[in-house]
Structure 1
């Protein structure tokens, strides 16, 4: 779980990392970010439902798969899984060996924790009519 100061820092990271100023997104307590490509009325509830389905890791299933993206705007990596809009950030300080498998496993672990706890810590509402 990230502390309040870290939450503010993670919000800033996601603001820099997410491409497209018009995208609404929700962040959970371990830093998992769910981007809402078709935002509904209640962004937190919508993101929670997505993470409930696509967050928990099940060994041997697509939920255990992951990929990593080297960031250009920030040091670190984004880890994605079987839902393209459910993402995790891994900073260089979090890993001793910056290998894709180490980075991916850490990001996947954060997603799994958030997929079980489902605790929203930030909502970024970018809908034009709000």
Structure 2
């Protein structure tokens, strides 16, 4: 997997690791002390916990899933530190108990630069839902 040379590379790098169902590539995107909050509000810290959160679902319900990510913005907050936002569409396949369907989320991530490589320090994923009904919303 290619290293993130620019913060703008994060959405495509995350997408590529997910779509390959490659946990080593996923791990390589994160800083050792990174935090991750999934779309259900489950908080984990550290690469091992991030991989442990994702490996079982990539072996089962999301084994045939794909992501399509789209960068929204990059905000430089300090030298070697940025906040990015990107849209993410998860397309679950037949392996999911609910069958094929799509879920859109908005991802906020903090990235830091170490030795010219950008890594994710914190990532939070929020499912787009109607606040009155809780029903999922697909954008455009």
Q: Normalising by the residue count of structure 2, what TM-score does the alignment of the two structures yield?
A: 0.30
Higher strand fraction: Structure 1 or Structure 2? Answer: 2
Q: Normalising by the residue count of structure 1, what TM-score does the alignment of the two structures yield?
A: 0.31
Structure number with larger C-alpha Rg? 2
Higher helix fraction: Structure 1 or Structure 2? Answer: 1
Greater RCO (Cα-Cα under 8 Å, separation 6 or more): 1
